[in-house]
Each structure stands twice: as structure tokens, then as C-alpha cells.
């Protein structure tokens, strides 16, 4: 892949590796040494890809595995929205390049096609007191991954499986960085555009779900998403509960009515 993609800030500097343990680890070290916002680390293959909740992320050749260094002007409690921002940017990029695919976001960070995961986002934040020093947005897209080992084969898909064609990594990276950059800078001025886009791709609005959180399980109807990337649940008691991306994950109960 070329070392430069046509971008403003995101992707101005790209470090490309054939194989890494994890792009997140390398990006974290670069950011600690002062790398600029928008710097990207990409690897053709990862041997210890990191997923959410300490899960291993399957990262063979063919996928797009990259990490983006961000220096957001936010306090640490506001960084929750970066998960939803990442997932929305990927969904917009897939939608732009493959308009016939029905891409959805399963809160907070799963990008899915026909309920199977095609991409995911992992955010790592380094803070100093309540200030955010930097954040790493790790993105994994199952681009040209033809096969998944069991049990992943039941829950994961790829763009090549869905479209029958392979996709240029460079083109997909360029398009995703462009969507992410627009969302990132516009949401620093006004969070509405991000929220509207995230809502339009949400697979959960209006659905009954079970959310597993650190506080326990909650069942209810998904009423909305909010600017922090939180899920607003109407509980069976009639009360509302807001759950932040880092606090929970979804177990779906019934199809959308």
C-alpha cells in the first residue's frame, strides 16, 4: 500500500507493517512519543489483535487492521462517544462504497451486515488528571477475509463474502479516513450530525434487548442513543436507564416490530 493517502489530517502520516502483534500497541507508543493527530498505523496481519473486553481479534491477511491516533479536545468522560464515532464512520464508508449492502451498527461498536459482524472498533484513552492526552481508535474491517474459523464463522462476515469481490485496502482506508475525519471535526462543533448518522444506522432502535453491564443485566426497549454514545433503555418498570459504551454489551431478544 502507498504510504500516503489523499487526506487532510487523518492519514497524512501512515506507518505500514506487514505483520504486527497489534497496531494499537504501536500506535500507543508512537502517540506517547508525540506523534501527531491523524497518524495511522496499519498492518497486513496481526498476531495478537485486541478486541473489546479483552477478546482476541482474528486478524489474518486480507483484512484491514489499523489504528488512528487522536488528540481530542475533550475531558475523559466525553471520550465514550469515540466508539460510536468509529462505528458510524465505518458504516458510512461501507454504505458509500457498497450502497446495496444493508450495513448497520449494533451498539456500541459492532458494524454488522445481516446481523453478522463485519467490523469493530476499540478505543484506548490515555488521560492526565481529567484531561485526555490522546486516544487510539483501533479499527478492524473484515475486508477480503474469505473464511473464519469456527465459532467465528457463525457470527462474522466480510465484505468479500457479502459482495463476491475483493476491495482495494487503500481505497477503503481512504474512504473510511475521510468519513471519520468529517465526523470527528464536525462533532467537536456540533454533536448532532454524528448522533443523527448513528441513529440512522442503528440496528437496535425500537428493539427489545437485554444489556449485560458491570452492574447486572437490564431488559427493555431501546428508545434512543445520546451524544455521549449512550444507549437509552426504557426498562420494563417504565424507568429509563442510560448505559455508556464502556459499561455494557447487547444480547438481543426480539426482532424489530
Sites of contact with ligand BTN (CB under 6 A): 22-24, 46, 49-52, 55, 57, 59, 65-67, 109, 120-122, 138-140
CA distance 140 to 66: 7
Strand intervals (E) in the chain: 14-20, 40-46, 64-70, 103-106, 110-113, 116-128, 131-141, 208-213, 216-225, 231-235, 240-243, 248-252
Query: Grid coordinates representing 190?
Result: 456540533
Least distance from ligand BTN to the Cβ atom of residue 51, Å: 3
Distance in angstroms (rounded) separating the CA atoms of residues 114 and 118:
10
**Of 185, 179, 71, whose CA–CA distance to 126 is shortest?**
71
In this complex, which beta carbon is closest to ligand BTN, that of residue 181 or of residue 241?
181
Q: Is 186 helix (H, G, I), strand (E, B) or coil?
A: helix
Pick the closer one to ligand BTN by CB: 137 or 241: 137
Least distance between ligand BTN and beta carbon 237 (Å)? 31
What do you get for the CA distance between the two ends of the chain, in Å?
44
Check: CB of residue 176 under 8 Å from CB of residue 168.
no
Specify the pairing of strand 231-235 against strand 116-128: unpaired
Instruction: Examine residue 96 and say whether the peptide bond preceding it is cis (omega within 30 degrees of 0).
Output: no
Closer residue to ligand BTN in complex, CB, 83/241: 83
Give min distance, CB of 235 to ligand BTN, in A: 26
Residue 124 or 241 having the CB closest to ligand BTN: 124
Which residue minimizes CB distance to ligand BTN? 120
Residue among 85 and 241 whose Cβ is closer to ligand BTN? 85
Nearer to ligand BTN, 121 or 225 (CB): 121
Q: How far is the CB of 118 from ligand BTN (least distance, A)?
A: 11
Nearer to ligand BTN, 143 or 241 (CB): 143
Q: How far is the CB of 155 from ligand BTN (least distance, A)?
A: 11
Q: How many contiguous H segments (helices) and E segments (strands) does the chain have?
A: 6, 12
What is the closest distance, in whole angstroms, from the C-beta atom of residue 79 to ligand BTN in the complex?
16
- Which has the closest alpha carbon to 50: 26, 25, 81, 30? 25
Q: How far is the CB of 95 from ligand BTN (least distance, A)?
A: 19
Amino acid at each position: 500500500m502507498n504510504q500516503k493517502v489523499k487526506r487532510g489530517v487523518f492519514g497524512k502520516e501512515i506507518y505500514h507493517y506487514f505483520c504486527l502483534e497489534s497496531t494499537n500497541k504501536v500506535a500507543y507508543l508512537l502517540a506517547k512519543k508525540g506523534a501527531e493527530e491523524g497518524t495511522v498505523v496499519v498492518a497486513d496481519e496481526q498476531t495478537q489483535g485486541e478486541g473489546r473486553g479483552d477478546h482476541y481479534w482474528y486478524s489474518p491477511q486480507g483484512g484491514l487492521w489499523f489504528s488512528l491516533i487522536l488528540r481530542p479536545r475533550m475531558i475523559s468522560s466525553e471520550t465514550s462517544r469515540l466508539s460510536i464515532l468509529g462505528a458510524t464512520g465505518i458504516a458510512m464508508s461501507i454504505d458509500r462504497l457498497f450502497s446495496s449492502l444493508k450495513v448497520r451498527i449494533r451498539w456500541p461498536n459492532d458494524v454488522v451486515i445481516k446481523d453478522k459482524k463485519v467490523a469493530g472498533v476499540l478505543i484506548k484513552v490515555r488521560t492526565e488528571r481529567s484531561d485526555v492526552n490522546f486516544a487510539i481508535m483501533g479499527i478492524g474491517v473484515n475486508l477480503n477475509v474469505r473464511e473464519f474459523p469456527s465459532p467465528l464463522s457463525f457470527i462474522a462476515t466480510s465484505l468479500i463474502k457479502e459482495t463476491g469481490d475483493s476491495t482495494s485496502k487503500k481505497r477503503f482506508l481512504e474512504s473510511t479516513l475521510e468519513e471519520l475525519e468529517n465526523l470527528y471535526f464536525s462533532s467537536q462543533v456540533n454533536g448532532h450530525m454524528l448522533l443523527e448518522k448513528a441513529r440512522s444506522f442503528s440496528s437496535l432502535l425500537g428493539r427489545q434487548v437485554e444489556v449485560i453491564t458491570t452492574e447486572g443485566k437490564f431488559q427493555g426497549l431501546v428508545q434512543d442513543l445520546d451524544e455521549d454514545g449512550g444507549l437509552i433503555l426504557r426498562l420494563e418498570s417504565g424507568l429509563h436507564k442510560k448505559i455508556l459504551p464502556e459499561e455494557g454489551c447487547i444480547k438481543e431478544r426480539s426482532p424489530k416490530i
